């Protein structure tokens, strides 16, 4: 696929750009209007006039960051100008919101003059709680930040300088501990002498590295004492009294290499001449100064970090800036000082030594994560980072006198926990797990353009090994028209496949006592869904994903006939994962069983709980009804209560209760006030419905009116992974479902304790006539 076009489409699709302003107060009637604007708005204005600090009470200032650039040093693109840098600033705004719930105005200044940027930021002080400077060239960035820190009473932070310093500093602390070297003895070589390199070197000095042990190199070579060419006052801080003139000279006997320059700046021969147990931080993006494989080819004793997510120890600035600003704004700090930066570094270093929860390891497709050479710093999607870094920064602000407010750390952590739910990393976590061990996914609708695009993404991102079913000529023609590469994508034509006889025999063997002849089996294989189901059934594919152009029964019927339910499960059910801004819920059964019995509801809930755990969350199950714990005597309510008893007998460790109404399931205060005996003390995240009507209606209302992202239907109880797309699903929906299918296949290749059959006879389903 044309990645350039993908990126353009991503930014242009729907509402252009990546951010929007969202109201936080209702405005639905005349009273709301009179409070939000004239005349009511005059009251907070007058209060703020008397006491400007009340702006933090009556406005969004205390949660608002300005991301400011003039576009003179944008990523690896150089000086592309202010407006061309706007997509990057919107991306930064997105990260602030997603990781720390901070609101952002991205502001692009149309001037390359440092004093203009300074004046602009000074005029912003009444508006925002902090300023994040971004993508401003060196040495201008140093002058701008230094001036603003002296003249403003709000936090100012240039992430390009300090972000890498803070994150790599944590990695350095832990790497030095692992190799058994003291910081004051380390000899450090930098490749690059820009804003990030100079700030990182200064941060390392504050950590304990001796300035005289640092050699910094730029495009002209080593910055040595007496060098006159291509110098400025900031580089001059790291003039070395050395005979080395090239980076190759400097690396001989060095303990640490820090790359903040360009791909290929360092060779394996250079690394081979470093000191024993070298620490290699090759941080250029997207291609590091030297790839980890090249390092390992000459040094099996090296500890390696990069800026990339496909290698261990990713030094990613998103581990820093959202949480640093979160902590700074929550105590109304007047600056981000060295004590606060140091606190962030040490918090990250300490967090890496803590036991990593299984839920975090699952987000990255790992069975176990332990502190060591391949885990120096936390993962970006580890939700604990917020709870460690922000409080550390806030407390450092208080201790250093930079804060205007005091925080109780325990209470503050609770506030942070409630500010961000666990939803943000769910889909990314699934994709990471899929990438860890890709599986073969067959797409019966292989001639559909959206399927072709999704297959390309699966290959490029390493999510799956896709197999497209259809006529090769048709698929190739459509791919060419869309400029989509088919490298790495298998194509199989059901009409001419050499597997037809084998698959016909397989299908006939399963269906011969249900009225199917061999001729009928051969004819049905012209239907790609039957052919794909046979591929999965015979082990020629690991999972099937279909349904973008089909109604649900047309998609699932072939799979039920050819693959069928798992014998230990006894029935198939469908569930949806609904991802809200701050929480995730699972709904079942939403697609298959019309009126399940209590026994079957227990099986559906058990299967849903296992899927929830697969997604890295602990299930809290509510059996829903119109009754609360016997408040209404009715067979349907009693069925749900009976299902609770059966599920508890089967797995006493599960948190499950009911029957209960939906508001009771979501409101712990109702439980505490009216039903203190309930085992469900927190809001439920797994909802089991009494029948298909309730489940199907509820998930669609939540999806369309509640603003949830729906992932599903996830078929539960099949003998092999089969997952159905919603009709009309878009490309990203297809990629997401492919990731779900891969994770499902991974789980089956390493199965947990099998489910015992809980169904008591067949339930009526939308496929009952099968």
The span from the CA of 200 to the CA of 192, in Å, is 11
What is the number of residues in the chain? 770
How far apart are alpha carbons 323 and 390 in whole angstroms? Answer: 5
Token pair, residue 369, equals 């994560």
> Phi and psi for 516 in degrees, rounded to 5?
-95, 130
Residue 193 in contact with residue 216, Cβ under 8 Å?
A: yes
Determine the Cα–Cα distance for residues 499 and 144; give it in Å rounded to an integer.
Answer: 68
* Element containing residue 375 per DSSP (H, E): none
CB 608 within 8 A of CB 758: no
Residues 6+ apart with CB under 8 A from 245: 221, 222, 224
Cα atoms in the Cβ-side hemisphere of radius 13 Å centred on 528: 21
116 HSE (CA, 13 A, CB side): 10
Q: In sequence order, what are the beta bridge partners of 188?
A: 214, 256
Q: β-pairing, 573-579 with 584-588?
A: antiparallel
CB atoms within 10 A of CB 108: 19
How far lies 702's CA from each of 301, 577, 628, 697, in Å? Answer: 53, 11, 22, 9
Q: Which residues make beta-bridge pairs with 197?
A: none
Distance of alpha carbon 444 from alpha carbon 531, whole angstroms: 8
Q: What is the DSSP string of 722-756?
A: EEEPPTT--HHHHHHHHHHHHHHHHHHHS--SPPP
Active site residue 10: no
Count the Cβ atoms, other than its own, within 10 Å of residue 199. 25
CA distances from 599 to 574, 679, 762, 763 (A): 16, 21, 11, 10
Catalytic residue among 37, 58, 153, 480: 37
> 10 Å Cβ neighbour count for 509?
12
Per the structure block, which two tokens stand in for 177?
């501990």
Pairing of strands 221-222, 214-218: antiparallel
Pair 763, 574: CB distance under 8 Å = no
Radius of gyration of the chain (CA): 29
Q: Which one is catalytic: 92, 235, 341, 450?
A: 92
Please confirm, yes or no, whether 92 is among the known catalytic residues.
yes
Dist CA 770 CA 765 (whole Å): 10
Residues in contact with 746: Cβ distance below 8 Å, sequence separation at least 6, in sequence order? 365, 433, 434, 436, 437, 439
The torsion of the CA quartet 355, 360, 365, 368, rounded to 10 degrees, works out to 10
8 Å CB contact between 704 and 726 = no
For residue 509, what is the enclosing H or E element? helix 500-511
Q: Catalytic amino acids?
A: 37, 92
């Amino acid at each position: 696929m044309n990645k350039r076009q993908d990126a353009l489409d991503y930014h242009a699709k729907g509402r252009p750009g990546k951010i929007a302003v969202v109201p936080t107060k209702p405005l639905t009637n005349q009273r709301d209007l009179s409070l939000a604007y004239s005349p009511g708005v005059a009251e907070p204005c007058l209060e703020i006039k008397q006491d400007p600090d009340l702006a933090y009470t009556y406005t969004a200032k205390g949660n608002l960051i300005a991301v400011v650039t003039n576009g003179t040093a944008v990523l690896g693109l150089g000086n592309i100008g202010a407006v061309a840098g706007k997509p990057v600033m919107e991306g930064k705004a997105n990260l602030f919101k997603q990781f720390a719930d901070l609101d952002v105005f991205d502001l692009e200044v149309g001037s390359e003059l440092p004093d203009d940027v300074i004046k602009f930021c000074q005029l912003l002080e009444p508006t925002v709680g902090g300023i994040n400077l971004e993508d401003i060239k060196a040495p201008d960035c140093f002058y701008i930040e230094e001036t603003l820190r002296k003249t403003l009473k709000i936090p100012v932070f240039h992430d390009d300088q300090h972000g890498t310093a803070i994150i790599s500093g944590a990695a350095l602390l832990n790497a030095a501990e692992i190799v058994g070297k003291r910081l004051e003895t380390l000899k450090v070589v930098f490749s690059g002498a820009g804003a990030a390199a100079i700030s990182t070197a200064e941060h390392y000095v504050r950590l304990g590295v001796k300035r005289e042990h640092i050699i910094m190199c730029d495009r002209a070579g080593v910055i040595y004492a007496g060098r006159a060419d291509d110098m400025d006052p900031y580089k001059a801080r790291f003039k070395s009294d050395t005979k080395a003139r090239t980076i190759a000279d400097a690396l001989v006997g060095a303990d640490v290499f820090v790359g903040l320059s360009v791909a290929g700046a360092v060779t394996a021969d250079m690394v081979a001449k470093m000191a024993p147990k070298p620490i290699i931080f090759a941080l250029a993006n997207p291609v590091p100064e030297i790839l980890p494989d090249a390092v390992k080819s000459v040094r099996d004793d090296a500890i390696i970090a990069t800026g990339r997510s496909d290698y261990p120890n990713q030094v990613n600035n998103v581990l820093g800036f959202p949480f640093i600003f979160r902590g700074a704004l929550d105590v109304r700090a007047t600056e981000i000082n060295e004590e606060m930066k140091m606190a962030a570094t040490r918090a990250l270093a300490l967090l890496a030594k803590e036991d990593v929860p299984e839920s975090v390891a699952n987000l990255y497709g790992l069975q176990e994560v332990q502190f060591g050479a391949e885990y120096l710093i936390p993962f970006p999607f580890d939700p604990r980072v917020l709870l460690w870094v922000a409080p550390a920064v806030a407390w450092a602000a208080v201790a250093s006198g930079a804060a205007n407010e005091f925080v109780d750390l325990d209470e503050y952590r609770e506030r942070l926990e409630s500010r961000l739910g666990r939803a943000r990393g769910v889909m990314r976590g699934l994709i990471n797990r899929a990438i860890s061990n890709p599986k073969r996914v067959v797409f019966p609708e292989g001639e559909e353009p959206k399927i072709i695009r999704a297959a390309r993404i699966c290959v490029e991102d390493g999510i799956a090994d896709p197999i497209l079913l259809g006529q090769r000529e048709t698929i190739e023609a459509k791919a060419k028209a869309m400029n989509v590469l088919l490298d790495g994508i298998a194509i199989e034509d059901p009409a001419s496949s050499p597997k037809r006889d084998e698959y016909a025999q397989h299908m006939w063997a399963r269906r011969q006592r249900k009225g199917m002849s061999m001729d009928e089996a051969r004819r049905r294989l012209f239907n790609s869904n039957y052919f794909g189901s046979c591929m999965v059934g015979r082990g020629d594919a690991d999972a099937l994903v279909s349904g973008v152009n089909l109604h649900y029964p047309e998609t699932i019927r072939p799979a039920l006939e050819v693959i069928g339910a798992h014998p230990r499960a006894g029935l198939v059910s469908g569930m949806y994962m609904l991802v809200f801004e701050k929480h995730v819920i699972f709904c079942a059964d939403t697609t298959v069983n019309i009126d399940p019995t209590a026994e079957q509801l227990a099986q559906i809930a058990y299967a849903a709980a296992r899927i929830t755990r697969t997604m890295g969350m602990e299930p809290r199950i509510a059996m829903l009804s119109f009754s609360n714990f016997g408040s209404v005597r009715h067979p349907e309510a009693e069925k749900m209560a009976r299902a609770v008893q059966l599920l508890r007998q089967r797995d006493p460790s599960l948190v499950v209760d009911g029957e209960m109404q939906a508001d009771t399931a979501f409101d712990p205060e109702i439980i505490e006030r009216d039903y203190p005996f309930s085992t469900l003390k927190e809001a439920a995240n797994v909802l089991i419905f009494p029948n298909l009507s309730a489940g199907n209606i509820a998930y669609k209302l939540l999806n369309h009116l509640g603003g949830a992202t729906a992932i599903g239907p996830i078929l539960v109880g099949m003998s092999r992974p089969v997952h159905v797309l919603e009709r009309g699903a878009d490309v990203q929906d297809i990629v997401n479902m492919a990731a779900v299918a891969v994770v499902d296949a991974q789980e089956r290749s390493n199965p947990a304790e099998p489910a015992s059959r809980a169904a008591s006879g067949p339930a009526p389903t939308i496929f009952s006539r099968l």
